[in-house]
Amino acid sequence: MVPRNTRHAFRVASETARFLNGYTPASLEAALVKFATPATERVLPPKNASGIIKMTPELLSRYGMDMLPGPDPLRPKGTGPTA
């Protein structure tokens, strides 16, 4: 459970991982359905697979999300503009 307006992120630090996310209120899963690419086979994607789309303010609003001010929770400490 991540309370509303709490900065959070996910990082996979495993060669193989399985997870199940739920969203309340529902909306983010609509973005996943819209922008995801179905797997053609049951294998891990290659290391050079395309990254995550850039969530514009319009897309964030459409899917009920906000960008919170502050450091990127996935950026290694001591790097980037807030280092």
Mean pLDDT of the chain: 77
Token pair in block for residue 60? 């964030």
pTM over 0.85: no
- Give the separation between CA 79 and CA 21, rounded to whole angstroms: 29
Counting residues of the chain whose pLDDT is more than 90, the rounded percentage is 0
- Give the separation between CA 39 and CA 37, rounded to whole angstroms: 6
The pLDDT tens digits for 34-74 are 888 788 888 877 777 776 677 788 888 888 787 777 777 77
- Give the separation between CA 83 and CA 77, rounded to whole angstroms: 7
pLDDT at residue number 83:
46
* Number of residues written out for the chain: 83
pLDDT at residue number 79:
65
